[in-house]
Amino acid sequence: MRIAAGVDVGSTQTKAVVMSDNGGVKVLARALVDTGANVQRAAERAFDACCQKAGVQSGDVGFVVGTGYGRYKIAFGNTQMTEITCHAKGASFLCPGTRTVIDMGGQDSKAISVGATGEVLDFVMNDKCAAGTGRFLANSAEVMGISLDEVGPLSLRARHPVKIATVCTVFVESDILSYLAQGKTGEDILGGVHIAIAKRTLSLARRLNIEPEITMTGGVARNVGMVRALEEVLGRKMLVSPDAQFVGAVGAALFALEKLDQSFESGIWREGHAVPGGH
């Protein structure tokens, strides 16, 4: 049995996945930790926790692929790949038939056009500001004095969503406070926040040729209100895997398994591990 891992170091959270190809490719375990200030330590903690959950020793893992903004800080990784490539691969594996990926993370958002075998055909991303990201939602929750987990469910109860004039995290506070002063309900304000983000995301995705099936990935995919708002502005149902937050790590682990296959086929496999450089 060959075992591989993917570690996705994001700006706010770090995810690790351990996979095997014993009796078919499958996820053995997953782990998530807050990234914090020490990116390298976050990667180590996520990987160690994942190995423990999988019931394997770190030495049993034949290949590790790092991804995410902190991928070059993964000291124990064998190689690195971009999150764009890994999200396309992971989404195609978890939601077969995926042709468009909308990834919403803590600090950026992306739209990816995906081929039949999970390859990237094209992509666009918003990484210059936090508009349309988890950070925007977190700021909105903070202004309203509620937890981030509450914003999605509350937005679903909106009856008359307000119009948010900006999706800038710097100015959204004034919009929200103004609506609160007018007596607008928290539900209607949050409904407006989600619609504003969804429209911003649609304008980003329209720079690609949006094709079904559309899969949503990233931590914001756990927000039921955001999924609903995106479906309304896109006019299509979204595919959301239970592992949506781990899609990048899953894709990285799949590439790691492929690296092991290549090592095995080229004869540089020894005692269950890929031998760097074939030595």
Question: Closest Cα to residue 20, out of 45, 33, 34, 1?
Answer: 1
pLDDT mean over 76-105: 96
Rounded Cα distance between 19 and 42, Å, is 20
pLDDT mean over 157-182: 89
The DSSP 8-state label assigned to residue 184 in this structure reads -
pLDDT at 267: 55
Q: Is the dihedral of CA 220, 224, 225, 228 positive or negative?
A: positive
pLDDT mean over 249-266: 88
Give CA angle at 202 (150, 180), nearest 5°: 40
pLDDT at 18: 98
pLDDT at 105: 84
Question: Closest Cα to residue 9, out of 58, 63, 73?
Answer: 73
Q: Answer for the pair 30, 6: CB distance below 8 angstroms, yes or no.
A: no
pLDDT mean over 24-44: 96
- Helix (H) or strand (E) holding 83, with range, is helix 83-94
Residues of the chain within CATH 3.30.420.40 domain(s) are: 3-87+246-278, 96-240
pLDDT at 130: 61
Task: Write out the E strands in the chain.
Answer: 3-9, 13-20, 26-34, 63-67, 79-80, 100-104, 109-114, 120-126, 214-217, 238-239, 269-270, 273-274
Looking at the DSSP assignment, which residues form a beta bridge with residue 26?
Answer: 20
Cβ contacts of 123 within 8 Å, gap of 6 or more:
84, 110, 111, 112, 113, 208
CB neighbours (10 Å) of residue 74? 28
CATH topology of domain 3-87+246-278: Nucleotidyltransferase; domain 5 (3.30.420)
pLDDT at 129: 65
CATH topology of domain 96-240: Nucleotidyltransferase; domain 5 (3.30.420)
Task: Write out the E strands in 117-206.
Answer: 120-126
Rounded Cα distance between 240 and 160, Å, is 27
Rounded Cα distance between 66 and 83, Å, is 9
Percent of the chain clearing pLDDT 90 (strictly above) = 78
pLDDT at 134: 83
pLDDT at 265: 60
pLDDT at 48: 98
Question: Closest Cα to residue 118, out of 274, 259, 252?
Answer: 252
Q: Is the pLDDT higher at 126 or at 222? A: 222
